[in-house]
């Protein structure tokens, strides 16, 4: 229906006037009947919806809304028709499908006796977006405030809490509801209403202020806080904003640092060594401990005014500064890694004109406060140590002279022993050969004429002469062993043991009777001739003491243990009582009588001496009637020397 037709009852002049208002309105105006069909719409309505006026007049309210919005519309449509004016907000779906947030003002209107609905609609999209931005900003701000690590407190002019965050609750132990019914004076024991008002007046002029005080928790305990306060004006009202930081942990850390600094101060000021810090940029000392006066006679205040190198001679001071700069540059170029220390000895001038020998241990560090490279160190008096070193040097020189003197004396004694040994060898062997020779001639000439007892006694004389000769030979060998030079080389022990066995048991039939086995032996690094003597004595003992077994069994084994080569020779002979093991390696110490087994009692002592000269040890284990095993160890081959492994030799008779 044309607007003029709808408004015709107001008269011509009114019609013209209302037409102008209707079309000129910036707000969209709709007129709909009781069924929601549009009866009239202005140009603003067409602009708002995107539909032409004719299109709108063929539509109804549901055509512009989604189902959810229609449900809200239906709930109050009847109320409007009944005469109630209502405001609402909903999204209009435009012709192009987009939606526009719209605010509606609805009121009933009687036209020709028919109740219609007069609707004024306004696009509030921008306002909705702005409100959303504000809400989101408020939400973010609220989240920041609630999650802040500082207490957020907003107070009115009387000191009452207007707003607090969760951190304030954590600090004080009160809930937000409890705090909003309290004042700052309930929490700050050192604050009064008078002081609060006075401080507020002062802060209006200076802005943000920071101070430290204490607050009281709900349980009555006090805790230190640092507070930043500013005065805000919200509308016509004045508010005090406080940011409260609990500094309990910081106070604890500061106390720990203070105590550590105090301990360090006590330590540095009560030791003889001088602690100091040098700024390499200015070449001046930032700190020197009081011990400097005891060491060099200069008070701390005077040293702090001295540049590095004073009071040395100018050229010495310049060398010190140049060395310090060079090391500082190396520290920076090396990535400024701490833990690299320098140790220097320096003769420093004392205030009284003398010189003091000192040892300086120092390292470079970056000062985080000013960015300068610092040299930090300790200087100690080493005058006593230098005197002790000099005394040791003199004693060493004296000792070297005494060693040379004792060596000369020992060489003289050794020469005398050599002469004595030669004399003993000649003087004893000659009579023994004579006794043996003459006894043999008497036996050959008068053997038939002598009675059996005389022949037996003559045989005893010859046997003892031979035994005495063997004893002299063993003693001479034992004596020479302690003086002979050890010439080491690689020794294939398996080959050596096999040859020694063939020399010891020369009789082929006797050799065939012995079950002799040599296992895989590690090579030795030693004197071949001396090690041959070791094996000769050990193999001889094994053959001798196992001769009564049937058959005799001898096994030689070897192994390595921690850089040592270990060798063992085992037999199934008569064995020995371990209670007498202490006598095994003593000279002339025999565990079996001469009548039972011949021997001089020197062989094992000779073995022990040779092994000891090679840096090893020897030991034995035995059981009476069940054989014995003798073992010895030698250091492994020297580094870089060839390592040989001897082969495995089968028994001569399996």
Any idea what the CATH number is for the domain that residue 601 is in? 3.30.565.10
Residues 67 and 134 in one domain: no
* Nearest Cα residue to 646 out of 496, 489, 520: 520
CATH value at residue 330: 3.30.450.20
Please list, in sequence order, all residues whose beta carbon lies within 8 angstroms of the beta carbon of residue 602, skipping any fewer than 6 positions away: 471, 474, 475, 477, 478, 587, 588
Please report the pLDDT score of residue 413 as a whole number.
66
Q: In angstroms, rounded to a whole number, what is the distance separating the alpha carbons of residues 86 and 104? A: 8
Q: What is the mean pLDDT of residues 66-83?
A: 76
Count the alpha carbons within 13 Å of 505 in the hemisphere toward its beta carbon: 24
Query: Is 471 a member of any domain?
Result: no
**One domain for residues 175 and 147:** yes
Count the neighbouring beta carbons within 10 Å of the beta carbon of residue 206: 9
- Residue 650 falls inside a structural domain: no
The secondary structure of 490-556 as a DSSP string is: EE-HHHHHHHHHHHH---HHHHHHSEEEE---B-EEE-HHHHHHHHHHHHHHHHHHTTTSSS-EEEE
Mean pLDDT in the chain?
A: 81
Distance CA 326, CA 320 (A): 10
Q: Residue 415: which pLDDT band, with cuts at 50, 70 and 90? A: low
| 399 in the same domain as 314 | no
Q: Which residue range forms the structural domain that includes residue 514?
A: 486-635
Q: Give the strand order in the sheet containing 515-518.
A: 515-518, 553-561, 564-571, 628-635, 617-622
pLDDT at position 643: 39
> Do 377 and 421 have their domain in common?
no
Do residues 312 and 224 both lie within one domain?
no
What average pLDDT does the segment 447-458 reach?
A: 75
Is residue 264 domain-shared with residue 363, that is, in the same domain? Answer: yes
Number of domains, the chain? 5
The residue assigned the tokens 């939606």 is: 99
Q: State residue 111 phi and psi, 5-degree precision.
A: -125, 110
Which of 466, 495, 513 finishes a domain? 466
Look at residue 653 and tell me if it is in a domain.
no
Choice between 251 and 469, residue whose per-residue pLDDT is larger = 251
47 within domain boundaries: yes
Question: Which stretch of DSSP H or E encloses residue 28?
Answer: strand 28-32
647 pLDDT higher than 50: no
- Both 526 and 612 in one domain: the answer is yes
Q: Which has the closest alpha carbon to 365: 331, 393, 316?
A: 331
Same domain, residue pair 508 and 625: yes
**Taking a C-beta distance cutoff of 8 angstroms, is the pair 585, 618 a contact?**
yes
Q: Are residues 261 and 362 in the same domain?
A: yes
pLDDT at residue 445 in the model: 74
Last residue of a domain, one of 347, 381, 415: 381
First to last CA, the chain: 137
Residue scoring higher pLDDT (441 or 95): 95
pLDDT of residue 182: 93
Q: Is a pLDDT exceeding 90 seen at residue 130?
A: no
649 has a pLDDT exceeding 60: no
501 shares a domain with 630 = yes
Share of the chain above pLDDT 70, in %: 82
Statement: residue 557 has pLDDT above 90: yes
Burial (CB < 10 A; 0-12, 13-18, 19+), residue 622, is: buried
* Domain limit, last residue, from 220, 246, 272: 246
The reply to whether 647 falls in a domain is no
Residue 649 is assigned to a structural domain of this protein: no
In the structure encoding, which two tokens stand for residue 635, read together? 């250091």
Strand order in the sheet with 209-216: 161-164, 151-155, 237-246, 222-234, 209-216
Q: How many helices (H) and strands (E) does the chain have?
A: 19, 22
Q: Are 32 and 119 in contact (CB under 8 A)?
A: yes
CA–CA gap between residue 584 and residue 602 (Å, rounded): 10
Residue 643 in domain: no
Helix (H, G, I), strand (E, B) or coil at 104: strand
Q: How far apart are CA 606 and CA 410, in angstroms?
A: 22
Contact 64, 93 (CB under 8 A): yes
Asked if the structure places residue 473 within a domain, the reply is no
Strand, helix or coil for residue 393:
helix
What does the pLDDT look like over 262-280, one tens digit per residue? 877 777 677 788 989 999 9
Are 112 and 134 in a shared domain?
no
β-pair partners for 649? 518
DSSP lists the bridge partners of residue 109 as: 116
DSSP per residue over 329-392, as a string?
Answer: HHHHHTT--S--EEEEEEEEE-TTS-EEEEEEEEEEEE-TTT--EEEEEEEEE-HHHHHHHHHH
Q: Say yes or no: 241 and 288 in one domain.
A: no
């Amino acid at each position: 229906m044309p607007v003029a037709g709808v408004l015709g009852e107001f008269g011509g002049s009114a019609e013209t006037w209302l037409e102008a208002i209707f079309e000129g309105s910036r707000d969209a105006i709709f007129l709909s009947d009781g069924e929601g069909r549009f009866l009239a719409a202005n140009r603003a309505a067409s602009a708002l919806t995107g539909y032409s006026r004719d299109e709108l007049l063929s539509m109804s309210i549901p055509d512009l809304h989604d189902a959810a919005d229609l449900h809200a519309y239906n709930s109050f449509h009847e109320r409007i028709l009944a005469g109630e004016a209502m405001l609402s907000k909903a999204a209009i779906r435009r012709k192009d499908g987009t939606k526009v947030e719209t605010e509606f003002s609805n009121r009933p209107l009687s036209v020709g006796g028919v109740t219609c609905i007069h609707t004024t609609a306004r696009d509030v999209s921008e306002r909705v977006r702005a409100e959303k931005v504000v809400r989101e900003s408020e939400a973010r701000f609220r989240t920041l405030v609630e999650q802040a690590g500082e207490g957020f407190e907003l107070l009115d002019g009387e000191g009452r809490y207007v707003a607090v965050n969760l951190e304030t609750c954590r600090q004080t132990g009160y809930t937000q509801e409890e705090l909003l019914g309290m004042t700052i004076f309930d929490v700050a024991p050192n604050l009064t209403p008078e002081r609060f008002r006075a401080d507020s007046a002062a802060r209006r002029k200076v802005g943000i202020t920071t101070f430290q005080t204490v607050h009281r928790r709900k349980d009555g305990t006090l805790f230190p806080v640092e507070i930043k306060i500013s005065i805000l004006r919200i509308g016509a009202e004045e508010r005090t904003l406080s940011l409260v930081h609990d500094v309990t942990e910081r106070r604890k850390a500061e106390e720990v640092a203070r105590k550590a600094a105090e301990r360090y101060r006590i330590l540095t000021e009560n030791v003889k060594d001088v602690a100091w810090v040098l700024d390499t940029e200015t070449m001046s000392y930032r700190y020197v401990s009081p011990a400097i006066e005891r060491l060099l006679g200069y008070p701390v205040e005077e040293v702090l005014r001295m540049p590095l190198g004073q009071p040395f001679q100018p050229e010495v001071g310049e060398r010190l500064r140049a060395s310090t700069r060079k090391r500082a540059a190396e520290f920076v170029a090396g990535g400024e890694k701490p833990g690299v220390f320098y140790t220097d000895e320096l003769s420093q001038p004392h205030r009284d004109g003398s010189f003091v020998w000192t040892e300086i241990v120092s390292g470079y560090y970056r000062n985080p406060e000013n960015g300068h490279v610092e040299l930090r160190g300790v200087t100690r008096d080493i005058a006593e140590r230098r005197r002790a070193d000099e005394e040791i040097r003199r004693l060493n020189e004296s000792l070297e002279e005494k060693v040379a003197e004792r060596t000369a004396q020992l060489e003289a004694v050794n020469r005398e022993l050599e002469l004595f040994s030669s004399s003993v060898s000649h003087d004893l062997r000659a009579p023994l050969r004579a006794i043996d020779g003459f006894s043999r001639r008497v036996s050959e000439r008068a053997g038939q004429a002598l009675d059996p007892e005389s022949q037996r006694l003559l045989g005893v004389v010859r046997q003892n002469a031979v035994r005495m000769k063997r004893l002299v030979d063993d003693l001479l060998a034992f004596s020479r062993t302690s003086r002979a030079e050890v010439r080491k080389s690689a020794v294939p022990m398996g080959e050596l043991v096999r040859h020694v066995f063939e020399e010891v048991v020369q009789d082929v039939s006797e050799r065939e009777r012995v079950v002799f086995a040599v296992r895989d032996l590690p090579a030795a690094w030693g004197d071949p001739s001396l090690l041959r003597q070791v094996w000769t004595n050990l193999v001889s003992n094994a053959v001798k003491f196992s001769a009564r077994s049937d058959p005799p069994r001898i096994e030689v084994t070897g192994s390595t243990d921690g850089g040592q080569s270990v060798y063992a020779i085992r037999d199934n002979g008569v064995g020995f009582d371990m209670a007498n093991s202490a006598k095994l390696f003593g000279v002339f110490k025999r565990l079996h009588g001469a009548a039972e087994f011949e021997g001089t009692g020197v062989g094992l002592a000779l073995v022990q001496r040779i092994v000891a000269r090679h840096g090893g040890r020897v030991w034995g284990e035995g059981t009476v009637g069940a054989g014995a095993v003798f073992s010895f160890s030698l250091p492994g081959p020297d580094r870089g020397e060839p390592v040989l492994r001897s082969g495995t030799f089968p028994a001569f008779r399996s």
